[in-house]
Chain A
Amino acid sequence: MTQLMKNICFALCMCLLAQAPTALASDHSKHKASSQMPSSACTAGMMACAKTISSVVDKHGRIWSTWSHRQHLYLNYSDDVGQSYSTPMRVNQVAEKISTRGENRPKIGADEHGNIYLSWVTPLSKRFTANVRFSYFSISKKQFSVPVTINNDNLLTGHSFNEMVVTQAGDVYIAWLDGRAKVAAAKQGIRLRSSEIYLAHANFEQGKNVFDNNYLAKGTCVCCRLAMGLDNRELPMLMWRHVFGDNYRDHGFLTMKNQAQANPMQRVSFENWQVNGCPHQGPSIVKGGDDRVHMSWFNNADDASGLFYGYSDDNGRSMSNTYHFATKANNPEHPFLSRGAASAQSGGMIQLVWREYNGKAFVIKYLKSIRGDNWESERVVATAQQGVDYPYILQHPSGSYLHWHVVGEPLALIKL
Chain B
Amino acid sequence: MSSLNNALVGAVVSTLLTLSVLLSAGHALAFDRVENRLVQQLRVDDIASVMNHGPRLIIMWSLDCPACFEELDTIAKLLAKQPNLAISLVSTDDDPTRHEEINEVYNDPAFSSIPRWVYAPNQAKQLQHAIDSTWQGELPRSYYVDEKGKRHGHSGLLNEKQLKMIISLIE
Contacts and interface: CB of A to CB of B under 8 A. Distances in A.
Interface of A: 1-2, 5-6, 8-9, 12-13, 15-16, 39-43, 51, 101-102, 104, 127-128, 193, 222-223, 247, 274-281, 298, 300, 305, 328, 331, 333, 357, 359, 362, 386-387, 407
Contacts of B29: 1
B133 interface: yes
Given A1-B30, A39-B24, A276 B19 contact: no
The 4 A-B pairs with the shortest beta carbon distances in the complex, nearest first, are A1-B26, A9-B19, A277-B156, A276-B156
Interface stretch (B59-67, B80-88, B143-151, B163-171): B59-67
B66 to A, nearest CB: 6
Contacts of A102: 64
Given A12-B15, A357-B125, A407-B122, A1 B66 contact: no
A337 B130 CA distance: 29
5 contacts: A247-B156, A277-B155, A278-B138, A362-B125, A386-B126
A359 B22 CA distance: 33
Interface in B62-110: 62-69, 95
Interface of B: 12-13, 15-17, 19-27, 29-30, 62-69, 95, 122-123, 125-126, 128-130, 133-134, 136-141, 155-157
Contacts of A104: 64
A61 B130 CA distance: 42
B140 to A, nearest CB: 6
A48 to B, nearest CB: 14
A333 B64 contact: no
A262 to B, nearest CB: 25
Contacts of B64: 101-102, 104, 223, 278, 280
A347 B64 CA distance: 38
Contact of A278 (B12, B20, B65, B126): B65
B2 to A, nearest CB: 15
B137 A127 contact: no
Contacts of A193: 66
A331 B136 contact: yes
Given A16-B12, A386-B122, A300 B138 contact: yes
A276 B158 CA distance: 9
A8 B95 contact: no
